[in-house]
Amino acid sequence: MALKKSNKPIIKYLADFLEYLAVEKGLSNKSQETYSRFVNKFYNWLELTNNRNLKPHELSPDHIWKYRVFLSKNINKVSGEALKKSSQNQCLIGLRNLLSYFAERNIASLPSDKVKLSKKSEEKTIKFLQLEQIEKLLLSPNIKTITGLRDRCILEVLFSTGMRVAELVSLNRNQLHFPPAQKNLEISIIGKGNRPRPVYFSERALYWLRKYLNSRNDDEGAVFIHYKGPKLSDWRLTTKSIENIVKKYAIKAGIPIHTVPHTLRHSFATDLLGKGVDIRTVQEFLGHKSILTTQIYTHVVSKKLKDIHSKFHSGKDLD
């Protein structure tokens, strides 16, 4: 089918693009918001450079080059630093997807492969906790209070399952069916990208989950809820609430203050890999769509093994 030139400016396609991501690509609302943010970055550049009326077929490699230069000089408003290469690439990936949308709609435009990504994107740093730090964190809540018991349960479940914080706050009590003698639990959740996957609760996490839920005398369906003093305040905890809870106990436990819920997910993954679990299995546990996402943990484990080898097998005791 012949490509058609559109008289509609590129910046007028955002709603259509997001609809395409939702309906044809099946992306979650969160993913749509992410792509919207990246594409809006490009739209802002078009505005700044007096190209707000630029049509899809008028977009040239020169425009792409100038946009890449703009991203490289862009300053993060929060940190005051230049955008990281990874952040620049995310913006360019958003633009690639917009161009792919034009191609699927037979709208004449620059091919998406003309948008080149940086080849020197810095290696992502994974922050994780050692097992002794995990133990300090888990032991820090005061379990004599209802909020402390809830918080202990939250920390145990995060480390046991490797769930994302958004997955944790979405948990409902009707998902948890376990007989009294059961020592572990498997449930199915809907994760990132609306992909279902199983998650597994260890015997220890299950103990604290039972203990917390048995202390509840309310009818709220959410597993983790707000309290004000000893009484129920409102309903389901938010992701921000969980982040604040983890930060609070990280400070109390005297572990790195950069600790966030995702740190426990990283710790879960590195602990499994460090104990010899194969990377494909860890990918399934984490719910990663691509093995490439999981492979970032292998760098951490490789360094850990190297340090162990250097410490215990250096050859210094040989004559």
Whole-prediction pTM value?
Answer: 0.61
Q: Give long-range contacts, CB 8 A cutoff, 24+ apart: 174-178.
A: 174/221, 175/223, 176/209, 176/213, 176/223, 178/206, 178/210
Write down all domains in the chain, each with its CATH number in brackets.
10-114 (1.10.150), 131-310 (1.10.443.10)
- Average pLDDT of the segment spanning 266-278: 88
**Residue 30 pLDDT:** 77
- Average pLDDT of the segment spanning 200-220: 91
- Average pLDDT of the segment spanning 293-300: 76
Digit-coded pLDDT (tens) for 28-39: 777 788 888 889
**Residue 1 pLDDT:** 61
Please list the active-site residues: 164, 192, 262, 265, 288, 297
Digit-coded pLDDT (tens) for 304-314: 555 554 555 44
